[in-house]
A = this chain, B = another copy of it.
């Protein structure tokens, strides 16, 4: 049952069921792809699903660049930390938090959009891009395609902007490699924190929630060891967030955003 895999806990149950929940619960990141292409019709469906996600005040502050050219994918792969699956996926979507469109509307109207200078509006850009992209992830699953997000596209945002010819006030928020899952890939649904660790009722209760982390550390250790990886969750989180040296250049994001025209003040 997909709910037991999702939590790595054979006692988990779900009182409601349908095909969409089943598909959502069974999602895993796909990093090895089969040979078939993603068709233009499928791409159209992914973007239509993305555009169907909610967006703050209908601002639609995002764009997406569909990359299929092998050389460009290779260059983006190198810029994003050298992850091979970026080049190997038949389709690499770069999701753009895009305040450039609104700035261009303003320029053409001879007016100004000062709200675009603030962190709040940058946040709306990233959040609305994420809502859209997650809809594309689910749409891809529904078409038998797999995907994986690539945060490494933020390692070198200015070089990525140059590669994609981004206008001012636009930044690559994340990539999404898309393709047919290679059944030979060694991977599975990764267990998540027990629901009681993230869901609070009426008010936040840190002590009650955190009580569930030890059991999760054990479950994730067991899951990781199946793939020859060491460590539980706590250890991996602490390593990942240790400091600027663990951020692959992304600790510079604030200054970079300002140079790209998203001052985020």
Q: Which residues of A contact B (CB under 8 A)?
A: 3, 6-7, 14-16, 18-21, 23-27, 29, 39-45, 47-49, 51-54, 56-60, 62-69, 72, 96, 100-102, 104-106, 109, 111-116, 118-121, 123-124, 126-131, 133-135, 137-139, 141-143, 148-149, 151, 154, 164-167, 170, 173-174, 190, 192-193, 195, 197-206, 209-210, 213, 220, 233-234, 236-238, 240-244, 246-247, 250-251, 253-254, 257, 264-265
In this complex, which of A127, A174, A254 has the most chain B Cβ atoms within 10 angstroms of its Cβ? A127
Q: Which of B49, B124, B167, B193 meets A24, CB within 8 Å? A: B49
Chain B's nearest CB lies how many Å from the CB of A258? Answer: 10
Residue of B nearest to A106 (CB): B238
Contact of A138 (CB < 8 Å), options: B138, B143, B254: B138
Name the CB-closest residue of B to A111.
B238
**Distance, CA A148 to CA B243, complexed state (A):** 37
CB-contact partner of A173 in B101, B109, B127, B154, under 8 A: B127
- Report yes or no: A151 in contact with B56, Cβ–Cβ below 8 A: yes
Taking a contact as CB atoms under 8 Å apart, the answer to whether B265 and A254 are in contact is yes
For A244, the chain B residues whose CB sits under 8 A away are 114-115, 118
Q: Enumerate chain B residues within 8 angstroms of A113, measured Cβ to Cβ.
A: 237-238, 241-243
A-B pairs with beta carbons under 8 Å apart, 23 shown: A6-B48, A14-B45, A16-B45, A18-B142, A19-B19, A24-B135, A27-B53, A27-B54, A44-B195, A51-B195, A51-B198, A54-B134, A57-B237, A58-B237, A62-B198, A63-B200, A66-B200, A113-B242, A114-B243, A118-B254, A119-B253, A126-B127, A130-B130
Instruction: Please state if A48 and B195 are interface contacts (CB–CB under 8 Å).
Output: yes
Q: Once the chains bind, are A199 and B63 in contact (CB under 8 Å)?
A: yes
Least CB distance from A67 to B in Å reads 6
Residues in chain B near residue A241, CB distance under 8 A: 59, 102, 106, 113-116, 121
With A48-B6, A206-B100, A254-B264 in contact, do A59 and B246 touch (Cβ < 8 Å)? no
